[in-house]
């Protein structure tokens, strides 16, 4: 199955008269090998990742041809490159706009040095499991439930998105792990490139969905 297929399937079912908000992981990146942790935001996507993102953008235009496509991203180069490549694939410049780092989705990491020490001790998967169980100190990384409320709140209240628009925000697996766990109560082991959550919202309610090879989740959240 090609990258982004699960999100595209959910977009194909999204109501035309509501705001549609998508939070996805970036496209395929270069290796982190040999790159210090504090410089990893400079790592981009590789040529295969560029092509994947362009194909994803082209497919968005096929499933949502009448929607205005707004693209946001985190500060990381790989997320910016993914957003720009999606726009290139979508191809209709008068129907798409790259917003930059809006809405602002910050990293959950509070103290990178402390987090690296814990990752080296427990491994990446072990670290994520402890985090999702709220076992890590909040002066190292945000509480996962608080972080989820922060991110979902920003997505739902971002004023630029109007009914009928599509907002795609490109972020990271570490952004999505706590959202899937908190919203749906399941711990997914990995977030594939260009996969993530899809939200359909009006002024009162939001329907949040996530799908991968193993799970298909759907829930509703009231907007206060």
Q: Is residue 199 part of a domain?
A: no
The residues, any chain, with a CB within 8 Å of residue 151's CB and separated by 6 or more, are 23, 105, 175, 179
Q: Is residue 120 part of a domain?
A: yes
Quickly count: other Cβ atoms within 10 Å of residue 128's Cβ. Answer: 23
Whether the CA torsion 181, 187, 190, 194 is positive or negative: it is negative
This model's pTM is above 0.85: yes
Tokens in use for 13?
Answer: 């079912």
Per-residue pLDDT, 168:
98
Q: Is residue 129 part of a domain?
A: yes
What is the side-by-side order of every strand in the sheet holding 69-73?
A: 96-100, 69-73, 166-171, 19-25, 196-201, 205-211, 216-222
Q: Is residue 49 part of a domain?
A: no
Q: Is residue 122 part of a domain?
A: yes
Run of H or E including 125: helix 112-132
Cβ proximity of 180 and 186 under 8 Å: yes
Q: Is residue 64 part of a domain?
A: no
Q: 């908190």: which residue's tokens?
A: 182
Per-residue pLDDT, 27:
98
If one counts the domains in the chain, the total is 1
Q: Is residue 132 part of a domain?
A: yes
Task: For the chain, 224 residues long, give each residue's pLDDT as a single digit of tens.
Answer: 788 999 999 999 998 889 999 999 999 998 877 788 888 888 899 999 999 999 999 999 999 988 999 999 999 999 999 999 999 999 876 799 999 999 999 999 999 999 999 999 999 999 999 999 999 999 999 999 999 999 999 999 999 999 999 999 999 999 999 999 999 999 998 999 999 999 999 988 999 999 999 999 999 988 86
Range of the domain at 122: 107-144
Count how many residues are written for the chain: 224
């Amino acid at each position: 199955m090609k990258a982004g297929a699960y999100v595209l399937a959910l977009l194909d079912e999204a109501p035309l008269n509501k705001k549609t908000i998508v939070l996805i992981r970036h496209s395929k990146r270069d290796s982190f090998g040999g790159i210090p942790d504090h410089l990893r935001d400079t790592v981009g996507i590789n040529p295969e990742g560029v092509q994947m993102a362009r194909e994803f953008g082209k497919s968005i235009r096929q499933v949502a041809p009448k929607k205005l496509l707004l693209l946001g991203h985190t500060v990381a180069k790989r997320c910016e490159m993914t957003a720009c490549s999606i726009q290139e694939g979508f191809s209709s410049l008068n129907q798409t706009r790259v917003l930059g780092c809006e809405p602002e989705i910050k990293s959950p990491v509070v103290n990178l040095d402390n987090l690296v020490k814990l990752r080296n001790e427990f491994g990446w998967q072990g670290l994520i499991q402890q985090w999702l169980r709220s076992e890590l100190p909040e002066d190292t990384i945000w509480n996962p439930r608080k972080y989820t409320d922060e991110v979902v709140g920003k997505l739902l209240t971002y004023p630029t998105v109007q009914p009928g628009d599509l907002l795609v925000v490109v972020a990271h697996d570490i952004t999505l792990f706590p959202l899937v766990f908190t919203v749906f109560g399941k711990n997914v082991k990995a977030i594939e490139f260009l996969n993530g959550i899809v939200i359909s919202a009006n002024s009162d309610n939001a329907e949040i969905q996530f799908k991968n090879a193993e799970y298909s989740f759907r829930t509703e959240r009231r907007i206060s």
